[in-house]
Structure 1
Amino acid sequence: MSSPRLSLPRQAHLGLAVGVVYGLVCRLLFNTKGYPSEGLNKELWAIMSLSFTFLVPMALGFLVIWFGESEKSWVRRVFQPWLAGIAFMVAAIAFHLEGAICVYVWLPLVWFMSSLGGLLAGALRDARASDGSKRLCVAAVALLPFAAGPLESLRERETEIRTAHTSIEIAASPAQVWRQIRSVPRITEAEHGPSWSHRLGFPRPTEAVLEGTGVGSVRYARFEGDVLFVEKVTEWEENKRLSFSIAADTKNIPPTTFDEHVTIGGPYFDVLHGTYWIEALGPDRVVLHLSSDQRLSTGFNFYSQWWTVWLMNDLQSYILRIIKARAERDR
Structure 2
Amino acid sequence: MNESNSPDPNRPHAASSEPPPLPPHAQAEPAGSAPMRWLRRLLLTVLPFAGGALIGLILRTVFNGEPGSAWAPMLTVFILIAPVAIGAVTVYLAERERARRLRYHFFAPWLSVTLCMAGSMLFMLEGAICVILIWPLFAVLGSVGGMIMGSLCRWAGWSKTPTVYSVAVLPLVLTLLGVGHDEPRRIERTERSVLIHAAPETVWRNLLDTDRIRAEEVDRAWMYRIGVPVPLAGLTHEDAAGLTREVRMGKGIHFRQRSADWRPGRYVQWQYQFAPDSIPAGALDDHVEIGGRYFDLIGTRYTLTPRGGDTELSIRMDYRVSTGFNWYAAPLARWLIGDFSDTILGFYRHRAEAGAAA
Fold in common (TM above 0.5): yes
Of the three residues 203, 206, 214, the one matched with 1:180 is: 206
Give the stretch that moved more between structures: 256-265 or 226-235.
Answer: 226-235
**CA separation of 1:177 and 1:215: change in aligned 2, threshold 3 A:** farther
- Tell me whether 1:306 sits opposite 2:331 in the alignment: yes
Deviations 1:39-64 (A, max 9, x none): xxx73232011111111001100000
Report if aligned partners of 1:44, 1:153 keep a CA contact under 8 Å in 2. no
Work out whether residues 89 and 165 of structure 2, in 8 Å CA contact, stay in contact via their aligned partners in 1: no
- Whether contact under 8 Å (2:87, 2:146) holds in the other structure is yes
**TM-fit CA distance, 1:188:** 3.9
Aligned to 1:38: none
Tell me the equivalent position of 2:107.
79
Q: Which amino acid aligns with 2:191?
A: H
The change in CA–CA distance for 1:189 and 1:267 in structure 2 (over 3 A counts) is: closer
Give yes or no for contact 2:215–2:230 (8 Å, CA) kept in 1.
no
Taking the aligned partners of 1:271 and 1:61, their CA distance within structure 2 comes to 35
Letter in 1 for 2:311: V
Q: Which amino acid aligns with 1:30?
A: F
Question: Distance in 2 between the 1:87 and 1:290 partners?
Answer: 40
Residues 205 and 299 of structure 1: is their aligned pair in 2 closer, same or farther, counting only changes over 3 Å? same
Verify: 1:110 aligned to 2:138, yes or no.
yes
Q: Secondary structure of 1:242's partner?
A: strand
Aligned-pair CA distance for 1:254? 1.0
1:260 pairs with 272, 286, 304, which one? 286
2:341 partner amino acid: Q
* Post-superposition CA distance 1:246-272 (Å, at most 9, x none): 123343321111012211111111111
Structure-2 separation of matches of 1:153 and 1:102: 23
CA distance in 1, matches of 2:137, 2:181: 22
The range that moved more, 149-158 or 113-122, is 149-158
Show the counterpart of 1:270. Answer: 296
Q: Write out per-residue CA displacement over residues 192-244 of structure 1, whole angstroms, 9 at most, x where no aligned residue.
A: 55332111011111111212168622122222122222111132122111102
1:222 paired to 2:255? no
In the alignment, the residues of structure 1 paired with residue 100 and residue 327 of structure 2 have an alpha-carbon distance, to the nearest angstrom, of: 35
Q: Structure 2 CA distance, aligned partners of 1:245 and 1:225?
A: 22
Distance 1:47 1:155 in 2: 11
CA shift for structure 1 position 98: 0.9
Match of 1:65 among 87, 91, 96: 91
RMSD (CA atoms): 2.2
Distance 1:198 1:189, change over 3 A: closer
| 1:29 counterpart (47, 56, 62) | 62
- Which residue pairs with 1:37 in the alignment? none
Give the match for residue 345 of structure 2.
320
Deviating runs (4+, > 6 A) in structure 1? none
1:247, 1:272 within 8 Å by CA — same for their partners in 2? no
Shift in Å, 1:150: 3.1
**What is the percentage of aligned positions where both structures have the same residue?**
30
The answer to whether the 8 Å contact 2:260/2:269 transfers is yes
Q: Does 1:15 align with 2:48?
A: yes
> Is 1:297 aligned with 2:322?
yes
* Preserved contact between residue 250 and residue 264 of structure 1 (Cα < 8 Å): no
Deviation string 1:64-90 (CA, Å, 9 cap, x unpaired) is: 001112213100000011111111111
Q: Which residue of 2 aligns with 1:286?
A: 311
In structure 1, stretches of 5+ residues that fail to align are 1-5, 35-41
Residue matched to 2:161: 134
Distance 1:123 1:288, change over 3 A: same
Q: Which stretch of structure 1 is more off in the superposition, 70-79 or 248-257?
A: 248-257
Secondary structure of the 1:92 match is helix
Q: Secondary structure at the match of 1:261?
A: helix
Amino acid at match of 2:47: L
Shift of 1:103: 0.6
Change (3 A) 1:142 1:188: closer
Q: 2:128 aligns with which of 100, 104, 109?
A: 100
CA distance in structure 2 between the partners assigned to 1:301 and 1:248 by the alignment: 24
Q: How many angstroms apart in 2 are the aligned matches of 1:217 and 1:246?
A: 12
Once the two structures are superposed, residues 269-311 of structure 1 have per-residue CA deviations (whole angstroms, 9 ceiling, x without a partner) of 11111100112221x2222111211121222111111221222
For 2:335 and 2:174, the matched residues in 1 are separated by 30
Residues 163 and 60 of structure 1: CA distance in aligned 2, closer, same or farther (over 3 Å): same
CA–CA separation in structure 2 for the residues paired with 1:7 and 1:72: 18
Distance (whole Å) between structure 2 residues aligned to residue 31 and residue 234 of structure 1: 40
Q: 1:77 to 1:190 in 2, by over 3 A?
A: closer
- How does 1:126-275 map onto structure 2 within 5 Å? 126-128=154-156, 131=159, 133-135=160-162, 137-153=163-179, 155-188=181-214, 191-212=217-238, 216-275=242-301
Aligned equivalents of 2:345, 2:203: Cα separation in 1: 10
